[in-house]
Amino acid sequence: MKRDMVLRVVAKLLIPFILLFAIYVQFHGDFGPGGGFQAGVILAAAMVFYAMIYGLDNARRVLPDWLVESMLAAGVLLYLGVGFAGLLLGGNFLDYFVLDRDPVAGQHRGVFWIELGVAITVCGVMLKIFYLFAARGQDEA
C-alpha cells in the first residue's frame, strides 16, 4: 500500500475518528449499549486498519508486542483489583456500592473501572491474535 496515496490519506483522516468513537463507546457504556468489549474491539480495529495500510512493522512500532501482552495482564488485573477493592471495603467481590460514600457514585465508579479493564484486555487479545496471524508467512520467506 506504499504507492496508494489515497488510502494512506484516508486512513490518516479516519483513524482518529475511529479512536474517538471507541472512547465514546467506552464512556457511553454506563448509560446505553456499548462498553468495554465493544470499545476494545473498535480500538483494535483501528490498529488493524493502520497495520493494513502502513504495514505490520509500523504497527508493531506503534504498539509493540510487549505492550500488547502487557495489556492482556493489565486489564485482568484492573478487573480483579476492583473486585478485591469491594472485598477490602467490607462488601462482596465486585460489589460497587462500597467504593464510595454515595452508593450510586460507587456503582458508577465500579462499572467504569470494570469496563476499562475489559476494554484493555479485549483490545490486547484482538491485537495479539492479529499480530500472530499477520506474521505467519513472514518467517518462512
The whole model's pTM is what?
0.87
The pLDDT tens digits of the residues spanning 59-118 come to 999 999 999 999 999 999 999 999 999 899 888 888 888 888 888 888 888 888 999 999
Q: What angle do CA 58, 62, 64 make, to 5 degrees?
A: 95
Give the residue extent of every domain in the chain.
Answer: 5-134
Q: What angle do the packed helices 65-88 and 103-134 form, to 10 degrees?
A: 160
| Predicted local confidence at residue 1, as pLDDT | 66
| Predicted local confidence at residue 128, as pLDDT | 96
| Predicted local confidence at residue 137, as pLDDT | 73
